[in-house]
């Protein structure tokens, strides 16, 4: 190794871990990034896609790249993917200067990562097993995509292949995770007709399998963090008490594993759950490893209401101590309060939800999540337009086209290479506004060169009272004009051909959303008239 200091600290950390737990994890890999930028990108991909090799949509990647360019991405210093073997990714700013604080921070981080790896090996949850499967599937999906799209490009000069597949994989993965699995699958016999068909068949099957795997995974976010935080905190306190280093407070470098509310809450939770056994850490570890998910730990700590009381306590207590993790003391750090509050609210909601519905795995949790909602459809001249809401930043207009092309909510005669399925209206919440987006496909004259060549028509509107009022006023003015304009219509006949619009298949939705659906549908009606 080129850096003996890292190796020494690494060995030291293993020793610490062995002393405290009695054993060390064996199945893991530590990957040290020389380039911290690369590490933060990887962290994002893991966070958003679920594994280090997940394919993200172009939209998301472009936005992330910009965020990265402006240095908005978190420098984690450490991130762990608890598959088998556990992947421990770290970037090493530590070698820049030699200071005992850095050494200590690195040591504790290694211990934190070892705890994750140990948990992945020994725990009774199916976490690492499922993640290993997902990891493998993502690898295969990525390879499939690269090989097939590369073939398309090389053999048939189809340049749109790669970006289209990238988006397709990302969008279908997202939706299949939310439980929407009605995607267009070409018939098995078409496997030989084109690479595209073959690829579609393969990839969608894989993505559906992946979604199944994700759903089977136990909910164990709090449990894992509790375990890892408990171990590293205990060891760190001991090291500091022993006076191995000149300082006896935690260095700020440890912010990533001490600062966030999740870390603080999970540690407190495990301590409260095992109040009577605080002197026998190995027993605590043993018992935690036998737990199957977050619900077990919450029950051990006294169930939902007690856990929520812990949240309330820690939340209030840390309001004054969080400043420690922030460099600025002139008052700017106060502006981070709402960020902490937001995080706490999320944890609170999660705990409340898990306790109320006694949720064990991700599938159950996603079923009742509001990230994806289907509202039924509107019929315009027997052609349905589907309405749904999705809360995810990776879907924009381009990705909407892919959704359109592959959602098998409605079948019609289609033309190759991609089928044109129903038109869609999608709602999405963006900060304060809720945007309604319509994607409608015009009539096809001949076979398009690529899925992007389909004549599409899109509108995006902000659902606000102002807009609804504006449209209403406009309509009234138009109606008045028509009244006075009778003579022309007598002369030339009315240009408008009334279309049958049927709203009866829509499920319940808020008044403003319904109103904006009407606006967008109007848009479709007039568009097709003039086209």
Partner 1 sequence: MPHRLHMITRERFSDPLTIWRDPEFVFDFADAASVLQKWRDPRKGQSSREALVLGMSLENAVAVKNIRRRLLVTPMEPMEEEDLIRELEILEYLGNEALPDALLKVNMGELQTKEEIESFIQKHLKGFEGTADYKKQLTESLRTLEELTDIEITDRFGHKMRIKREEVMDFLGNQLGNWLTRQLPARPVNETIVRPRGKIHKKKTFEHSILTSQSIPPKSIDTDDIVIIKKDRNAQIYLAVDISQSMRNVVQGTHFSRLEGALLTSLAIFYYLKKQGRTRRTNQKAFRTAVVPISKNRRIVSSEGELERFLLTAQAKGRTPMSASIRSAIDHARIKKNTQNRDIHIIIVTDGRPNELIPGYDAKPSTSLLHYFEEEREVIDPVARNCYIELNSLLRDVVKDRSRAWKVSYFMIGSERLRHTDLWRDTRRALRGIAYPVIIDPSRMDILAKTIITESMRLGQSTSS
Please, which residue, 162 or 240, has the CB nearer to partner 1? 162
Report helix, strand or coil for 340: helix
- Residue keyed to tokens 């900060």: 431
Please give the C-alpha separations between residue 34 and each of 3, 78, 88, 95, in angstroms, as whole numbers: 12, 13, 14, 10
Site for partner 1 in 264-293 (CB under 8 A): none
Tokens of 129: 């097993």
Number of shown-chain residues binding partner 1 (CB under 8 A): 97
Residue from 177, 81, 83, 79 nearest 129 by CA: 83
Residue 423 CB, shortest distance to partner 1, in Å, is 14
Q: Which of positions 335-364 make contact with partner 1 (CB under 8 A)?
A: 335-336, 339-340, 342-343
Q: Which of 5, 30, 352, 373 binds partner 1 (CB under 8 A)?
A: 30
Dihedral sign for Cα atoms in the order 240, 8, 121, 24? negative
Quick one: 278 or 339, whose CB is closer to partner 1?
Answer: 339
Please answer whether residues 434 and 414 qualify as being in contact, where contact means their C-beta atoms are separated by less than 8 angstroms: no
The nearest distance, CB 257 to partner 1, in angstroms, is 9
Residues 148-177 that bind partner 1 (CB under 8 A): 149, 153, 156-160, 162-163, 166
**Helix/strand/coil for 306:** helix
- Sheet containing strand 423-430, strands side by side: 456-462, 433-441, 423-430, 383-390, 372-380, 501-502
Query: Using CB under 8 A, which of the segments 267-275, 308-316, 448-456, 487-495 binds partner 1?
Result: 448-456
Q: Out of 19, 22, 65, 193, which residue is the one contacting partner 1 (CB under 8 A)?
A: 65
369 to 398, contacts with partner 1 by CB under 8 A?
393, 396-398
CB-based contact 254:105 (threshold 8 Å): yes
The residue from 229, 264, 361, 437 that contacts partner 1 (CB under 8 A) is 437
Place of tokens 């006023």: 473
User: Applying CB under 8 A, does 23 fall inside the site for partner 1?
Assistant: no
Q: Please, what is the minimum distance in Å from the beta carbon of residue 441 to partner 1?
A: 13
Residues 6+ apart with CB under 8 A from 35: 91
Q: Is 459 in the site for partner 1 (CB under 8 A)?
A: yes
* 445/483 with CB nearer partner 1: 445
Of 453, 476, 502, 522, which one interacts with partner 1 (CB under 8 A)? 453
User: Which residue among 240, 366, 460, 525 contacts partner 1 (CB under 8 A)?
Assistant: 460
Of 67-126, binders to partner 1 (CB under 8 A) are 67-70, 72-77
- Host H or E run for residue 423: strand 423-430
Q: Are 50 and 214 in contact (CB under 8 A)?
A: yes
Under rule CB under 8 A, residue 462 binds partner 1 = yes
Verify binding: residue 38, partner 1, rule CB under 8 A.
yes
């Amino acid at each position: 190794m080129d850096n003996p200091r890292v190796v020494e600290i690494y060995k030291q950390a293993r020793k610490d871990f062995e002393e405290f737990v009695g054993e060390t994890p064996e199945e893991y890999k530590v990957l040290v990034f020389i380039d911290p930028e690369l590490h933060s990108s990887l962290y994002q991909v893991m966070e958003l896609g679920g594994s280090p090799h997940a394919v993200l949509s172009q939209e998301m990647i472009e936005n992330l790249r910009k965020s990265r360019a402006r240095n908005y991405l978190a420098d984690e210093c450490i991130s762990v993917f608890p598959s088998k073997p556990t992947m421990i990714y770290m970037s090493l700013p530590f070698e820049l200067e030699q200071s005992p604080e850095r050494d200590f921070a690195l040591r504790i981080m290694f211990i934190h990562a070892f705890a994750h790896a140990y948990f992945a090996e020994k725990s009774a949850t199916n976490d690492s097993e499922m993640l290993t499967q997902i990891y493998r599937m993502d690898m295969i999906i990525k390879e499939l995509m690269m090989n097939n799209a590369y073939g398309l490009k090389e053999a048939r000069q189809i340049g749109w292949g790669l970006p289209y597949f990238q988006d397709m994989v990302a969008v279908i993965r997202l939706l299949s995770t939310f439980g929407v699995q009605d995607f267009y699958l070409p018939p098995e016999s078409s496997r030989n007709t084109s690479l595209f068909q073959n690829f579609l068949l393969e990839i969608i099957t894989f993505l559906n399998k992946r979604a199944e795997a994700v759903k089977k995974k136990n909910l164990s976010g709090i449990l894992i963090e509790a375990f890892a935080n408990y171990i590293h905190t205990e060891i760190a306190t001991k090291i500091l008490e022993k006076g191995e280093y000149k300082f006896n407070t935690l260095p700020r470098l440890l912010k990533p594993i001490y600062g966030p509310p999740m870390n603080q809450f999970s540690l407190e939770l495990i301590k409260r759950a095992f109040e009577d056994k605080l002197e026998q850490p190995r027993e605590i570890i043993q018992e935690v490893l036998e737990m199957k998910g977050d619900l077990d730990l919450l029950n051990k700590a006294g169930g939902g209401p007690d856990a929520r009381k812990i949240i309330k306590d820690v939340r209030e207590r840390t309001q004054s101590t969080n400043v420690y993790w922030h460099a600025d003391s002139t008052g700017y750090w106060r502006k981070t309060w709402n960020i902490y509050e937001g995080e706490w609210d999320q944890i609170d909601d999660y705990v409340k939800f898990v306790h109320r519905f006694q949720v064990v795995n991700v599938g159950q949790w996603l079923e009742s999540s509001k990230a994806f909602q289907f509202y039924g459809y509107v019929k315009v001249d027997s052609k349905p337009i589907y309405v749904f809401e999705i809360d995810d930043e990776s879907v924009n207009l381009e990705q909407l086209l892919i959704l359109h092309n592959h959602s098998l909510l409605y079948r019609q005669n289609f033309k190759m290479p991609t089928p044109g399925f129903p038109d869609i209206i999608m709602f999405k919440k963006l900060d304060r506004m809720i945007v309604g987006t319509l994607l409608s496909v015009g009539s096809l004259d001949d076979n398009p060169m690529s899925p992007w060549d389909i004549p599409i028509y899109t509108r995006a509107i902000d659902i606000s009272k102002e807009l609804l009022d504006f449209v209403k006023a406009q309509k009234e003015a138009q109606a008045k004009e028509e009244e006075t304009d009778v003579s022309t219509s007598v002369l030339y006949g009315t240009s408008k051909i009334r279309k049958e619009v049927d709203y009866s298949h829509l499920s319940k939705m808020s008044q403003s959303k319904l109103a904006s659906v009407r606006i967008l549908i109007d848009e479709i009606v007039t568009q097709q008239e003039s086209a």
